[in-house]
């Protein structure tokens, strides 16, 4: 049975992940023992923790503080591809409201989530092209284009009680957008200030303020994630290893944990921080930075006992926007976000996995 089969009846809320798992297991092609879960050998680390209050409106930081903050983020983006931010302005009470609304949304019957067109048909579960357990994610999500939650564009039909989800998502998206833009501008400015005499401070600041090109409140995405407890946690991913196909991701996660990233060719477990948001570099920013900032592979491990919630804001340009570069020579040919997404989708459909940036190198690897 394919991962997106019309199943899970009986009015239950859970997507038919177990059926998908068993079907893929019968077909063969499992993952290595312990690869899907947080094995004892995986070290838990705290990501670099950076106070960004000085970058936001009303932060009151002077130029020296803002420069030090940008430098700290640039180092983390180069060495880790990930970091945590505090004093980010996304209130704890708002995030608690989001978690409550997420839980209410995901508790709806599976058939309602899958067929009712909730949040403009953005519901996802499992993996649509899974041919082995390596491709199955033990999770469900609403991957929502922000253009669809502005105003009254999102129709809940008879489920009018869910309009609170829409309101909270808009508030969270607005708050995370301010974080993403401030961080992206600071990171871009850090590179442009290193660009030599033709990048004077004023010119670099102006260029960074316009970064990334083609991004606004309608081109980005908000993804609400739920990772159910998994009886096959030892050999199942909560979310399969991947890099993000955007400029920048801002992530809120609960305290259950499960996020892991690749550091120095080894998986590292990320220790949750109650007051921090996680920021990670996406493929487009790695390309724009000429590989100075790293879009790092990461995954979520399945948990045998506890469900996990998270929400991610993806800073994306319009489909026809060129990704560009911080300076020449660039190792990448010119491409648009739409071209990048189409190529990723083609590769996943053809091979079961994303290839990503190597497709756009000027000199293809032999």
Is the backbone peptide bond immediately before 76 cis, with ω within 30 degrees of 0? no
pLDDT digits (tens, 9 = 90+) for 112-121: 999 888 888 8
**pLDDT tens-digit map of 190-228:** 999 886 555 556 666 777 888 898 998 889 999 999 999
> Token pair for residue 200?
């004077």
Provide the CB-side half-sphere exposure for 250 (13 A, CA).
26
Least reliable range by pLDDT among 192-201, 314-323, 345-354: 192-201
The Cα-based distances of 8 to 114, 121, 167, 304 in angstroms read 10, 18, 29, 20
Residue 293 has pLDDT above 70, yes or no: yes
Say yes or no to pLDDT of 175 above 90: yes
- Give 86-119 pLDDT, tens digit per residue: 999 999 999 999 999 999 999 999 999 998 888 8
Q: Is the peptide bond before 53 cis (omega within 30 degrees of 0)?
A: no
Predicted TM-score (pTM) of the model is: 0.91
Q: What is the pLDDT of residue 10?
A: 47
Give the integer Cα–Cα distance in Å for 310 and 138: 14
Best CA proximity match to 247, nearest among 174, 317, 182, 296: 317
109-159 per-position pLDDT tens digit: 999 999 888 888 899 999 767 888 888 999 999 999 998 876 555 555 556
- CA within 13 Å, CB half, 314: 22
Q: Within its chain, how far is the Cα of 140 from the centroid?
A: 14
In angstroms, the CA 88 to CA 180 distance is: 10
């Amino acid at each position: 049975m394919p991962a997106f089969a019309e199943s899970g009846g009986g009015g239950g809320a859970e997507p038919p992940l177990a059926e998908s798992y068993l079907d893929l297991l019968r077909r063969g092609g499992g993952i290595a023992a312990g690869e899907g879960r947080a094995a004892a050998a995986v070290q838990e680390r705290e990501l670099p923790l950076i106070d960004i209050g000085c970058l936001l409106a009303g932060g009151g930081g002077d130029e020296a503080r803002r420069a030090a903050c940008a430098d700290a983020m640039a180092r983390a983006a180069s060495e880790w591809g990930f970091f945590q931010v505090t004093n980010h302005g996304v209130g704890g009470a708002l995030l608690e409201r989001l978690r409550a609304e997420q839980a209410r949304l995901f508790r709806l019957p599976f058939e309602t989530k899958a067929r009712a067109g909730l949040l403009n048909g953005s519901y996802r579960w499992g993996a649509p092209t899974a041919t082995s357990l390596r491709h199955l994610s033990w999770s469900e999500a609403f991957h929502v284009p922000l253009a669809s939650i502005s105003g009254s564009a999102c129709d809940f039909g008879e489920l009018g009680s869910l309009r609170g989800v829409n309101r909270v998502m808009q508030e969270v998206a607005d708050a995370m957008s301010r974080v993403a833009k401030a961080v992206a501008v600071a990171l871009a400015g850090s590179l442009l200030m290193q660009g030599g005499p033709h990048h004077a401070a004023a010119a670099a600041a102006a260029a960074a303020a316009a970064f990334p090109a083609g991004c606004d409140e309608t081109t980005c995405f908000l993804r609400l994630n739920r990772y159910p407890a998994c009886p096959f946690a030892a050999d199942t991913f909560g979310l399969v290893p991947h890099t993000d196909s955007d400029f920048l991701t801002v992530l809120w996660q609960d305290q259950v944990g499960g996020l892991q990233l690749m550091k120095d060719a080894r998986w590292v477990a990320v220790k949750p921080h109650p007051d921090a948001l996680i920021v990670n570099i996406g493929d487009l920013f790695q390309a724009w930075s000429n590989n100075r900032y790293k879009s790092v592979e990461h995954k979520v491990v399945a948990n045998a006992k506890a469900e996990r919630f998270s929400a991610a804001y993806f800073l994306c340009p319009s489909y026809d926007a060129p990704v560009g570069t911080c300076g020449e020579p660039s190792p990448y040919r010119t491409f648009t976000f739409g071209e990048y997404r189409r190529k990723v989708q083609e590769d996943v459909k053809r091979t079961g996995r994303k290839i990503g940036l190597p497709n756009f190198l000027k000199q293809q690897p032999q």
